[in-house]
Amino acid sequence: MSNNQKHENLSINYSGIEDQELVEKAKGGDKVAFSMLVRKYEQTVAAVVIGMLGDSADAEDVGQNVFIRFYKALGDYRGEAALGTYLTRIAINLSLNELKRRQRMNLFFFRPAADSPGLDLKDEQNRQDEYDTKQAVHHALQQLEPKFRSVVVLRMLQGYSTKETAEILKLPLGTVLSRLSRAQDKLKELLKYLIE
């Protein structure tokens, strides 16, 4: 039996096991258990990171670093938060760190909003034809300040409740609601050409 077949058989045996038990096995050095956790949550982590950073090589690196950070901190994870929430918090924090790094390196450029000086309004129809709605929304999301973007990614894209979003970001509920409202207003402004 090849190593891949053995790994697949072990994965099948672990498929019904709860997250906390897989974490405990991973803490004991069980690589298959950790691999199962990565498989289970890699799409969630990728969606958060891409929502924050865009689809880039940096986003892929940050996504991998989420699981590296989790692996190194396995001993500290006590299960007080659901594993998905815990990994999302790591993903948001590492994404915010990457955004700060980009700013320091002068690599974080924003395209002007539709009503900004220097953008020809005649290009509005061309832009609508060029981008589909998903790309336009993603582009608008990237124009939000990170503190607003993180709330939108968690609340609107990942479907966390407002309370869960506040817990993940370690913010008061009122701050999350305020940031969400301001982010929605900004997104409406940035995407008004799609609505009209």
Per-residue pLDDT of 85-128, as tens digits, reads 999 999 999 999 988 887 766 533 444 444 444 445 445 545 44
Per-residue pLDDT of 32-78, as tens digits, reads 999 999 999 999 999 999 999 988 888 999 999 999 999 999 988 88
Domain spans, the chain: 1-109, 110-196
Amino acid at residue number 20: Q
Nearest to 59 by CA among 50, 69, 68, 47: 50
Q: 1.20.120.160, 1.10.1740.10, 3.40.1440.60, 2.30.42.10: which CATH number matches 1-109?
A: 1.10.1740.10
Q: What is the CATH number of domain 110-196?
A: 1.10.10.10
Query: Which pTM was predicted?
Result: 0.68
- In Å, how far are 90, 135, 151 from 61, measured between CA atoms? 13, 22, 22
Dihedrals phi, psi of 132, to nearest 5 degrees: -80, 170
